[in-house]
Chain A
Amino acid sequence: MLILHCPYCGIHADETELAPGGEAHIRRAGPGSDDTEFENYMFARKNPKGVHFERWRHVHGCGKWFHAARATDTLEVFGTYPAQTTEPPEEILAHIRKRRPDWKGFQG
Chain B
Amino acid sequence: MESFQRPLADPFVTEAELVQGLQSGDPAAFERLVRDYSGRLLAVARRFLTQEQDAQDALQDAFLSAFRSISRFEGNSQLSTWLHRIVVNASLMKLRTRRRKPEKPIDDLLPQFSGNGHRDGHEPAWAVTIDTAVNDREIRELVRTKIAELPESYRTVLLLRDIEQMSTEETAEVLELTPGAVKTRLHRARQALKTLLDPHMQGA
Q: Is this pair of chains taken from one and the same complex?
A: no
Could you list which residues of chain A lie within 8 angstroms of chain B, going by C-beta atoms?
A: none
Could you list which residues of chain B lie within 8 angstroms of chain A, going by C-beta atoms?
A: none
